[in-house]
């Protein structure tokens, strides 16, 4: 009600939003507003109330507490090498083909694109097999609800020259949180190729260290207020063999991507996962709803939130 009234007066609305953000940060030690946290809690309660989900005796690949406490889990060796190699071939071939890719963000300061989405990820049916049954049952136990797919995407990050990276952020390469997302967002990162420190790995601060960095005064991606060294201290760097999976709560853990070295690139498959009231329908990959890349994400003047 107060927000609705305030929204009619821009100055008041701005002040209310800033206050909401300060309260959210103090209470939850991340970058979401208090009202967004309250909304997410309400959504979680509603989903748990409306679902008939009951934890079964299914094999679970990780402990819900680990994901809750640390904000991430690493799952190496989930898939047989023939599968990893087959997926690697399919993704590499697709992302190498200029007819099958679309820009992932607005052009960088020099007018070039440094990150490309695979336009039609549904053309790679093995991508759906990344939702390993043991991973699904563990995530459902974590949610206390069924799993829903918010999106499935595949992209390639290219080397960003230093002088371009210095001007402005190109592809989520500054420490940040994902904000204002649907309740319970967990991202699944799948490494298509072996990733070394030369390949622009993903970096993440576990939840305890993220809390510490917020207490130390972390600001935001544009003005972090802490040095790059401090922000990077103790970070988990996703340097790992092809086929490795990381699940991460990117709304509560600081994270960033990084630029591969000259001539190198990093291919990634990413699911955005959410809790839901009913089980996932088999055959979901054929429903464009899950794999469509929205106009907003490709409009050059309006870069996507990562």
Ligand X SMILES: O=C(O)CCC(=O)C(=O)O
Strands of the 186-191 sheet, one edge to the other: 72-75, 245-248, 186-191, 265-276, 146-158, 115-118, 101-103
Q: Which is nearer to ligand X, 4 or 223 (CB)?
A: 223
Nearest approach, Cβ of 272 to ligand X (angstroms)? 9
* CA distance readout (Å), 210 to 32, 175, 181: 14, 11, 18
Which CB sits closer to ligand X, 159 or 187?
187
Going from the C-alpha of 209 to that of each of 31, 109, 124, 195, 216, the distances in angstroms are: 15, 32, 37, 24, 10
Backbone angles phi, psi at 131, to 5 degrees: -80, 70
Q: Of the two residues 37 and 255, which places its CB atom closer to ligand X in the complex?
A: 255
Location of structure tokens 């909401």: 20
Nearer to ligand X, 146 or 202 (CB): 202
Size of the site for ligand X (CB under 6 A): 11
Phi, psi torsion values for 152, nearest 5 degrees:
-135, 125
Stretch that binds ligand X, among 92-100, 125-133, 225-233, 249-257 (CB under 6 A): 249-257
Binding letters toward ligand X, positions 125-164, x by CB under 6 A: --------------------------------x-------
- In whole angstroms, the minimum distance from the beta carbon of 219 to ligand X comes to 17
Q: Which is nearer to ligand X, 131 or 248 (CB)?
A: 248
Q: How far is the CB of 248 from ligand X (least distance, A)?
A: 8
Measured in whole angstroms, the distance separating CA 105 from the mean position of its chain's CA atoms is: 15
Choice from 251, 257, 259, 291 touching ligand X (CB under 6 A) = 257
Rounded to the nearest angstrom, the gap between the alpha carbon of residue 32 and the centroid of all alpha carbons in its chain is 15
Q: Tell me: does residue 114 bind ligand X (CB under 6 A).
A: no
Of 90 and 268, CB closest to ligand X: 268
- In the chain, where does DSSP find H-type helix? 2-6, 10-28, 34-50, 64-70, 81-96, 133-143, 162-167, 207-215, 228-232, 288-291, 295-298
250 lies in the site for ligand X, by CB under 6 A: yes
178 binds ligand X (CB under 6 A): yes
255 lies in the binding site for ligand X (CB under 6 A): yes
Residue 103 or 279: the one with the smaller Cβ distance to ligand X is 103
Beta bridge pairs of residue 268:
155, 191
Q: Which residue from 172, 210, 249, 291 is in contact with ligand X, where contact means CB under 6 A?
A: 172
Binding residues for ligand X, rule: CB under 6 A, are 157, 172, 178, 187, 202, 250, 255, 257, 268, 270, 306
């Amino acid at each position: 009600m107060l927000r609705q009234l305030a929204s009619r007066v821009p100055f008041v609305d701005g002040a209310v939003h800033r206050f909401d953000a300060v309260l959210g940060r103090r209470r939850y030690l991340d970058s979401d507003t208090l009202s967004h946290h309250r909304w997410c809690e309400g959504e979680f309660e509603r989903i748990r109330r409306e679902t008939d989900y009951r934890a079964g005796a299914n094999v679970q690949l990780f402990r819900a507490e680990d994901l809750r406490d640390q904000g991430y889990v690493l799952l190496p060796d989930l898939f047989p090498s023939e599968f990893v190699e087959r997926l690697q071939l399919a993704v590499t071939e697709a992302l190498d083909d200029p007819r099958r890719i679309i820009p992932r963000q607005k052009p960088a300061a020099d007018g070039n694109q440094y990150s490309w989405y695979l336009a039609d990820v549904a053309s790679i049916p093995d991508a759906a097999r990344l939702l390993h049954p043991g991973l699904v049952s563990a995530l459902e136990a974590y949610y206390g609800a069924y799993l829903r797919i918010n999106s499935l995407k595949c992209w390639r990050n290219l080397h960003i020259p230093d002088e371009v990276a210095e001007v402005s952020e190109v592809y989520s390469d500054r420490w940040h949180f994902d904000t204002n997302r649907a309740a319970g967002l967990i991202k699944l990162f799948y490494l298509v190729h072996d990733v070394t420190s030369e390949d622009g790995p993903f970096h993440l601060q576990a939840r305890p260290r993220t809390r510490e960095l917020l207490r130390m005064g972390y600001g935001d991606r544009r003005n972090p207020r802490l040095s790059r060294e401090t922000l990077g201290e103790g970070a988990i760097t996703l340097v790992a063999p092809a086929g490795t999976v990381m699940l991460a709560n990117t709304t509560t853990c600081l994270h960033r991507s990084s630029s591969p070295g000259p001539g190198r690139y990093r291919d990634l498959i990413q699911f955005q996962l959410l809790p839901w009231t009913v089980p996932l329908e088999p055959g979901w990959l054929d429903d464009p709803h899950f794999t469509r890349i929205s106009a907003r994400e490709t409009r050059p003047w309006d870069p996507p939130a990562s």
